[in-house]
Amino acid sequence: MTHPTDAQRRHDPAVRGFASDNYAGVHPEILAAIALANDGHQVAYGEDQYTEHLQSVFRTHFGPQAEAYPVFNGTGANVVSLQALLPRWGAVIAAGSAHINVDECGAPEKIAGIKLLTIPTEDGKLSPELIDQQAWGWGDEHRAQPLAVSITQSTELGTLYTPEEVRAICEHAHERGMLVHMDGSRLANAAASLGRPFREFTTDAGVDVLSFGGTKNGLLFGEVVVVLNPEKVRNIKYLRKMSMQLASKMRFVSVQFEALLTGDLWLRNAGHANAMATRLAEAVRGIDGVTIVRPVQANAVFALLPREVSERLQKRYRFYFWDEHTGEVRWMAAFDTTEADIDAFAAAIVEEMGRTA
């Protein structure tokens, strides 16, 4: 008979990957926080003391009006947020590369019944001018009504919106009667790179609701829907339950975010991941046949190299093709990526490129 204490480690912790920051483990300070919350009983479904305290933690970062609703994952956070912005006939404008469009298995459409109006972009970013390509047809009963805009910070292409760019989008959207959602699965990476507090490019810029990410920045699991404009964004608690995102043992989500955000853990983790991505880009930029194709502004590096080289490298380090047609790949750094990891990966790229020459 096998007991829990008989469990064996079934992976080699020395093996590293660059496919996603989700591949990383859990930061020790987060594990310690979970253990701290584990003893005894607490009321379920968010009526625990940790979730109550979490409200003040988020208000420190996003203002006294902010309301925090922990959920299980990023797709859930996005689906709940978008439902809160739109009536049944509403549609959301988003970049064609947005996670809600290409990486959520149609959840906004299938679970929330939301029409996505997408726009091709070069850098993953929307602008007022791009938004206007889809911001039309109000009052036309034949067209899903564009009533929300969703932007991502940092974007799926690793680029960043400045506070001024976010403000311009929000003002433009609000003038047209639309609300604004921000997918912030890597919001900490954006803040670390910009050197700006969260509030400056969310609440103060006019964002109405935010999906705040934690899993990619050292948490075991969990994201938070942060309502920044309670006058316009309502009924989250009902939508969260209806969308299967209400955790019974919510204290274990909430205490993780308390540990992440009360001090500077969020900044240490995100800043380190960003620095490792920069180190990788600098290490490979001079390799003949390797091209960094996008600005490295957060913790992602996008590169072009011969497909056969990428395929050989994938047998040594996990990473994904971003564009199967062009052969563009994406390399992600995480909070636990080390300088040695970067240097070994760069050396492997040099080696595999040499086999092609």
Q: Tell me the per-residue pLDDT of 315-325, one tens digit each, with 9 for 90 and over.
A: 999 999 999 99
Q: Are residues 148 and 17 in the same domain?
A: no
d(CA 166, CA 247): 31
Q: Are residues 182 and 215 in the same domain?
A: yes
Q: What is the mean pLDDT of residues 270-290?
A: 96
Q: Are residues 192 and 316 in the same domain?
A: no
Q: Which of 208, 240, 262 is the last residue of a domain?
A: 262
Q: Which of 203, 235, 262 is the last residue of a domain?
A: 262
Q: What one-letter code names the amino acid at 43?
A: V
Q: Are residues 53 and 148 in the same domain?
A: yes
Q: Which of 262, 288, 309 is the last residue of a domain?
A: 262
Residue the block writes with tokens 């047209």: 176
The model's confidence at residue 7, banded by pLDDT at 50, 70 and 90, is: confident
pLDDT recorded at residue 3:
64
Q: What is the mean pLDDT of residues 55-76?
A: 98
Q: What is the mean pLDDT of residues 32-43?
A: 97
Q: Are residues 257 and 291 in the same domain?
A: no
Q: Tell me the per-residue pLDDT of 152-193, one tens digit each, with 9 for 90 and over.
A: 999 999 999 999 999 999 999 999 999 999 999 999 999 999
> Domain containing 36 — which CATH number?
3.40.640.10
Q: Are residues 291 and 317 in the same domain?
A: yes
The model's confidence at residue 205, banded by pLDDT at 50, 70 and 90, is: very high
The model's confidence at residue 106, banded by pLDDT at 50, 70 and 90, is: very high
pLDDT recorded at residue 132:
98
Q: Are residues 34 and 113 in the same domain?
A: yes
d(CA 188, CA 190): 5
pTM: 0.96
Q: Are residues 331 and 346 in the same domain?
A: yes
Q: Are residues 230 and 120 in the same domain?
A: yes
> Domain containing 12 — which CATH number?
3.90.1150.10
Print the domain residue range for 288: 4-23+265-356
Q: Are residues 279 and 207 in the same domain?
A: no
Q: List the end-to-end C-alpha distance of the chain, in Å, as a whole number.
A: 55
Tokens of 89: 């006939």
Q: Tell me the per-residue pLDDT of 256-275, one tens digit each, with 9 for 90 and over.
A: 999 999 999 999 999 999 99
Q: Are residues 295 and 244 in the same domain?
A: no
Q: What is the mean pLDDT of residues 98-115?
A: 95
pLDDT recorded at residue 185:
97
Q: Are residues 102 and 238 in the same domain?
A: yes
pLDDT recorded at residue 229:
98
Burial of 184 (0-12, 13-18, 19+ CB in 10 A): buried
The model's confidence at residue 4, banded by pLDDT at 50, 70 and 90, is: low
Residue 137, pLDDT > 90, answer yes
Q: What is the mean pLDDT of residues 6-35?
A: 94
Ordered strands of the 209-213 beta sheet: 67-71, 223-227, 209-213, 179-184, 145-152, 90-95, 115-119
Question: What one-character DSSP code corresponds to residue 199?
Answer: G
Peptide bond into 127 cis (omega under 30): no
How many domains, in total, are found in the chain? 2
Q: What is the mean pLDDT of residues 221-247?
A: 97
Residue 1, pLDDT > 70, answer no
The model's confidence at residue 213, banded by pLDDT at 50, 70 and 90, is: very high
